[in-house]
Amino acid sequence: MSVTPVQSGSVPGEIVTGTDQARHRPRVVILGAGFGGLNAATALRRAPVEVTVIDRRNYHLFQPLLYQVATAGLSPAQIAMPIRRILSRQSNATVLMDKVEAVDTAAGCVVTGSRRIPYDYLIVATGARHTYFGNDAWAEHAPGLKTITDATAIRARILAAFERAEVTDDPRLRQKLLTFVVVGGGPTGVELAGAIAELSRRTIVHDFRRIDSSSARVVLVEAGERILPAMPPCLSRKAQGQLERLGVEVVLGNAVAGCDDSGVRLVDGTEIGSACILWAAGVMASRAAKWIGAAADRAGRVIVDERLNPPGHDEIFVIGDTASVTDAAGRPVPGVAPAAKQMGRYAAYAILGDMAGRHPAPFRYRDFGNLATIGRKAAVADFGKTRLSGYPAWLVWNFAHLWFLVGFRNRLVVFLDWAVAYARNDRAARLITGHHEA
Amino acid sequence: MSVTPVQSGSVPGEIVTGTDQARHRPRVVILGAGFGGLNAATALRRAPVEVTVIDRRNYHLFQPLLYQVATAGLSPAQIAMPIRRILSRQSNATVLMDKVEAVDTAAGCVVTGSRRIPYDYLIVATGARHTYFGNDAWAEHAPGLKTITDATAIRARILAAFERAEVTDDPRLRQKLLTFVVVGGGPTGVELAGAIAELSRRTIVHDFRRIDSSSARVVLVEAGERILPAMPPCLSRKAQGQLERLGVEVVLGNAVAGCDDSGVRLVDGTEIGSACILWAAGVMASRAAKWIGAAADRAGRVIVDERLNPPGHDEIFVIGDTASVTDAAGRPVPGVAPAAKQMGRYAAYAILGDMAGRHPAPFRYRDFGNLATIGRKAAVADFGKTRLSGYPAWLVWNFAHLWFLVGFRNRLVVFLDWAVAYARNDRAARLITGHHEA
């Protein structure tokens, strides 16, 4: 969806002659530069507005490939791009790397640690983070995957487990070090489990002398009845079959009761000794609901109407994973990148409509299908009528992810990395860095 | 120099038929997988010995390009390669990621946190780290550059300074944030100062709205009379001229008297307010001298004879930055990568000679010349008679560094990155990660 600017072709520089006029240009403040926020900002590139994008990180992250950083397949810079680089040529956009403390909806101000930033329109796109359902003590034993720093820490944890197993002479410790548990059977959990299995059985299988890395145990624990619940049941079964062929043990209908140094305890009493537990289970929206004083659903998402406004605030739009929305067609909108992008562009369109005195048509979500990858030549794809699995689905997955990657250079380099990885069964970024580095 | 194995073409697997014989195969333990240690290991690939490489990191680092990671030009994985991947096909080599606590020279054992590893021959190649000449309190204010983690932390510090300058409304703080001080006029200091100047004046110059990144002040502080003291004076002058054309202020004959939150204080009383001080001054060898109970020079380097043995220990070889050695030609051997590689191969050759009852010829250092880069089309090269500066030197530098980079994939990707960076004045890895990431 492209936006028709109020004064098409008008460039801010041309319009603003005096500060008076400048003061009259609507100020659009966007919180968060994920898929939603960034698409809202770029959709406003020719609009006579002042756009301010606030994010506490300096980069836009291509979340769908973050698991590949966590499993040493890609480098951070290949899936992350500086926000101000992306908006470098958009002269009506200012990027501030800052942490939002609160929103003063009465005064129309965003409050950060250092200053107050007034807005005429506010777009809240602060996304979601993982949740331990109240058991925050599990975090240190079972890290989740949301940021680049999470990913490199998980990468270090996985690789260090093999290194420590090679060094130790204690068979029980070695067994524990060679057991990897992934909690949560959604796309991220499936991708992580598949990637760890491939790492141990293909990539590093010739690298060790004292252990057999391919003997590593990879367990995927899902509380529900099937993995990939967003997929049709037949594809969940296919995905599970492909995981099991890679050597992943899939445990269904069994939730985690506890995590500690020794490993994982499941509700049915099963204990799995592991030194590397990865958390891909619950997701909780950011604190946005508290900021704007709006009602939230159980996942902390702000409940908005079909114009993405919280009740009583037509100047505020909540989009992406932060929003709980049922679209014009009556469907709940899923927390996926395409939905966030569409909501971002809709918010821009609605703001321009409001400036022109038009009442925008309600938001309508276009579902382009659903993809999940398991490993080399293994994936599932759901396009409504068309359903793919195995090699064809894997090809579609590769193509789609390369296509949507930001920046030509990244596309080229990632393609190169994937080609080499495919040919050599290698992974480019097997580095143990950060606090694991003595 | 290539090694002639005692039984040429003999593969360990063929020789070892029983454990008795296995027990008689000399055990060569190598501490450190830098240029020296790794070259010693690979030089022994066909030798009837058991090689054990111990490093507390899992990767071999191409140190000469580390400053490019620190200045967002390259990603860590492009200049670092897993040690066990490099030695994956060398069946007589075992890699252990472990931290050496001590060496029991009497018993012939290396002691790590977890175990004792016996050796018949020991090669000490644990390199060097930066030193603050006793002022360790400066470390937090002026980080040094030795590891990948150092590099990504410095990268975050540099980029965060610009981000904070864009956010703040306090002109004095902004001035301080836009002042970068590099301490030490050796190759690393020169490369860092040049790269920061280029970053601020070319790469990010269009990215900010509230600050002019090209107004950033970059100061290079050198205690000696000229930068690049290892180069002939004329090249030092040329290098200084090229730095100044990039906008770097070069301060000579003035040492650092103090570092704190407010900035740097020089011995002549000058105070430079800065939020980003980088340390590229002193280098101190690892604790190896203490481990083996040998005499060390002022830089902590073990004083070895022309066969690289410390006094009284013909079975121990100290190489690379850890060794203080005057070669057969009577020249002190510099602490550079080519010297470390040559010493590594010499140690392997000497061990094989000793096994064959031969007395090896003393070590002789072959000097292939000296390179330093300043920035785009700016570098100096000293090949004895031939001396280059500017564009030609820069081309030689690029070629040489691509050539010696480990791994074909890396060569290709780094070449691609450099080509794109050159064409677009861009830098690929402008990410603020780690603890700077809120």
DSSP A358-400: --PPPP------EEEEEETTEEEEEETTEEEESHHHHHHHHHH
Residue A12 confidence class, pLDDT cut points 50, 70, 90: very low
Average pLDDT for chain A: 90
> Could you identify the residue written with the tokens 């809240």?
A124
DSSP A160-172: HHHHHHHH---HH
Residue A17 confidence class, pLDDT cut points 50, 70, 90: very low
Q: Dihedral angle at the C-alpha atoms of B222, B226, B229, B235, nearest 10 degrees? A: 130
Question: Between chains, do B437 and A147 touch, taking CB under 8 Å as contact?
Answer: yes
Specify the 3-state DSSP secondary structure of B256. strand
Q: Which of A84, A99, A207 sits opposite B208 (nearest CB)?
A: A84
Q: What is the mean pLDDT of residues A358-378?
A: 92
Q: How far is the alpha carbon of A318 from chain B, nearest alpha carbon, in Å?
A: 22
The answer on pLDDT for B204 being more than 50 is: yes
Q: What is the mean pLDDT of residues B89-99?
A: 96
The predicted structure's pLDDT at residue B403: 86
What is the H or E stretch that residue A21 is in? helix A19-24
The answer on pLDDT for B421 being more than 60 is: yes
Note whether B302 and B292 are within 8 A (CB).
Answer: yes
Percent pLDDT > 70 in chain B is 93
Task: Give the count of Cβ contacts less than 8 A between chain A and B.
Answer: 155
**Cα B399 vs. chain centroid, distance in angstroms?**
19
Note whether B7 and B25 are within 8 A (CB).
Answer: no
The predicted structure's pLDDT at residue B417: 78
Question: Between chains, do A437 and B149 touch, taking CB under 8 Å as contact?
Answer: yes
Question: Between chains, do A208 and B84 touch, taking CB under 8 Å as contact?
Answer: yes
The answer on pLDDT for B435 being more than 90 is: no
The predicted structure's pLDDT at residue B260: 95
The answer on pLDDT for B113 being more than 90 is: no
Distance CA(B357)–CA(A425), nearest Å, equals 43
Residue A387, strand partner residues: A382
pLDDT tens digits for range A106-121: 999 999 988 999 999 9
pLDDT tens digits for range B210-234: 999 999 999 999 999 999 999 999 9
- A327: tokens are 């679209």
The predicted structure's pLDDT at residue A408: 65
Query: Nearest residue of B to residue A430 by CA position?
Result: B82
Residue A150 confidence class, pLDDT cut points 50, 70, 90: very high
Q: Dihedral angle at the C-alpha atoms of A285, A287, A291, A297, nearest 10 degrees? A: 40
Classify burial at B399, counting beta carbons within 10 Å of its beta carbon; exposed 0-12, middle 13-18, buried 19 or more. exposed
Percent pLDDT > 90 in chain A is 79
Q: Which of A164, A208, A428 sits opposite B409 (nearest CB)?
A: A428
In the set A191, A271, A306, A437, the catalytic residue is A191
Q: How far is the alpha carbon of B213 from chain A, nearest alpha carbon, in Å?
A: 13
Q: What is the mean pLDDT of residues B414-434?
A: 81
Note whether B161 and B178 are within 8 A (CB).
Answer: yes
Identify all chain B residues contacting A89, using CB atoms and an 8 Å cutoff.
Answer: 206
What is the H or E stretch that residue B14 is in? helix B12-15
Report the residue of A110, A420, A437 to disrupt the B interface, i.e. the one with the largest count of B CBs within 10 Å.
A437
Q: How far is the alpha carbon of A163 from chain B, nearest alpha carbon, in Å?
A: 6
Identify all chain B residues contacting A112, using CB atoms and an 8 Å cutoff.
Answer: 167
The answer on pLDDT for A20 being more than 70 is: no
Q: What is the mean pLDDT of residues A245-258?
A: 96
Question: Between chains, do A207 and B88 touch, taking CB under 8 Å as contact?
Answer: yes
Angle, nearest 10°, between helix axes B35-43 and B337-355? 30
End-to-end CA distance of chain B: 50
Q: Which residue has the higher pLDDT, A104 or B11?
A: A104
DSSP letter at B280? -
**Cα B373 vs. chain centroid, distance in angstroms?**
15
Percent pLDDT > 70 in chain A is 93
Distance CA(A102)–CA(A109), nearest Å, equals 9
The predicted structure's pLDDT at residue B8: 35
Angle, nearest 10°, between helix axes A408-424 and B408-424? 170
Q: Count Cβ atoms below 10 Å from residue B33 Cβ, excluding itself.
A: 31
Identify all chain B residues contacting A55, using CB atoms and an 8 Å cutoff.
Answer: none
In the set B50, B191, B198, B222, the catalytic residue is B191
Q: How far is the alpha carbon of A136 from chain B, nearest alpha carbon, in Å?
A: 18
Question: Between chains, do A412 and B413 touch, taking CB under 8 Å as contact?
Answer: no
Distances B404 to A274, B62, B191, B397 between C-alpha atoms, Å: 40, 9, 18, 11
Note whether B29 and B123 are within 8 A (CB).
Answer: yes
Note whether B71 and B91 are within 8 A (CB).
Answer: no
ipTM: 0.87
Distance CA(A189)–CA(A129), nearest Å, equals 15
Least confident window among A227-231, B159-163, B346-350, B428-432: B428-432
Q: Which of B57, B76, B434 sits opposite A75 (nearest CB)?
A: B76
Question: Between chains, do A58 and B163 touch, taking CB under 8 Å as contact?
Answer: yes
Average pLDDT for chain B: 90
Distance CA(B128)–CA(B145), nearest Å, equals 11
Q: How far is the alpha carbon of B348 from chain A, nearest alpha carbon, in Å?
A: 22
Q: Which of A163, A209, A420 sits opposite B409 (nearest CB)?
A: A420
Residue A404 confidence class, pLDDT cut points 50, 70, 90: confident
Query: Nearest residue of B to residue A99 by CA position?
Result: B438
The predicted structure's pLDDT at residue B414: 81
The predicted structure's pLDDT at residue A272: 97
pLDDT tens digits for range B340-374: 999 999 999 999 999 999 988 999 999 989 999 99
Q: Count Cβ atoms below 10 Å from residue A373 Cβ, excluding itself.
A: 27
Told to judge if B191 belongs to the known catalytic residues of this protein, a careful annotator would answer: yes
pLDDT tens digits for range B117-155: 999 999 999 999 989 999 999 999 999 999 999 999 999
Least confident window among A182-186, A303-307, A310-314, B17-21: B17-21
Nearest to B258 by CA among B246, B271, B247, B249: B271
Q: Which of A76, A96, A412 sits opposite B166 (nearest CB)?
A: A96
Question: What ranges make up the beta strands (E) of B62-209?
Answer: 80-82, 93-97, 100-104, 109-112, 116-118, 121-124, 128-130, 179-183
DSSP A48-98: SSEEEEEESSSEEE-GGGHHHHHTTSS-HHHHEEEHHHHTTT-TTEEEEE-
Question: Between chains, do B76 and A431 touch, taking CB under 8 Å as contact?
Answer: yes
Query: Nearest residue of A to residue B96 by CA position?
Result: A167
Identify all chain B residues contacting A163, using CB atoms and an 8 Å cutoff.
Answer: 58, 97
